[in-house]
Amino acid sequence: MFMAENTETGKRIRSARMGDVREIHALLQHFSRKNLLLGRSISSLYDHLRDFVVYEDQGVRGVCSLHICWENLAEIRSLAVAEESQGRGLGEALVRACLEEARRLEIGRVFTLTYQAPFFRKLGFVEIDKRELPHKVWSDCLNCPQFPDCDEEALIWTAEQNN
C-alpha cells in the first residue's frame, strides 16, 4: 500500500480504496468527455482498484494507475487531476508514486500512451514506437474506439536510465 502525506496540510497521495471508486470514475469521465483520456467503467475500476493511487484533499482530486502488463513492463494510465487542482505538481507527484511502485515491484520499464507527451518527457520518459508494445496493442488497444487511428504518443521510462 502506498501513502505519502503532508502532515501540515493533511493532503496525501495514497492507494485507492473502495470508497473512492465513484469519485475516480467521475474524474476520469470528465476528461474522457473532453477526449483527453479513455474513460473507465465502474466495473473496470473495481477490477483494477489496486492499480490506482489518488491525491486526497477533501475528496479525490487526482488519480493515476500503474497497470502491470508483462514480466518487466507496466503502463501509467488514467492520470487525471481536477481542473481546480492543476498547476500544483499533483500530476507529477502521482506519476512519481506509480514509478516508485514500479521500482518496488522490480519493473524496469513503464510506458504510457498520451496526448500530454511534454509532461511525461519532463519526468524522464522518451518516445517509443507503439509496435514495440505488442501486449498493449493486442489487449487494450483492440477494444479502444480510437483503434486503429490512435493519435496518442507512446513514451517509455526505464529504471536504468532514471536512477
The one-character DSSP state at 159 is: T
* Burial class of residue 2 in the structure, from the number of CB atoms within 10 Å of its CB (0-12 exposed, 13-18 middle, 19+ buried): middle
More confident residue, 71 or 45: 45
Percent of the chain with pLDDT over 70: 82
Question: Where do the domains of the chain lie, and which CATH numbers do they carry?
Answer: 3-158 (3.40.630.30)
Q: Residue 7: pLDDT above 60?
A: no
d(CA 2, CA 17): 11
Q: What is the pLDDT of residues 23-69, one digit of tens each?
A: 999 999 999 898 888 888 999 999 999 999 999 998 999 999 999 98
Half-sphere exposure in the Cβ direction for 12 (13 Å, CA): 11
- Cβ neighbors of 99 (< 8 A, separation 6 or more) are 66, 76, 110, 123, 157, 162
Strands 60-70 and 73-81 turn out to be antiparallel
Residue among 64, 67, 98 nearest 81 (CA): 64
Q: What is the pLDDT of residue 74?
A: 93
Q: Can you count the helices (H) and strands (E) in the chain?
A: 5, 8
pTM as predicted:
0.86
Residue 117 has pLDDT above 70, yes or no: yes
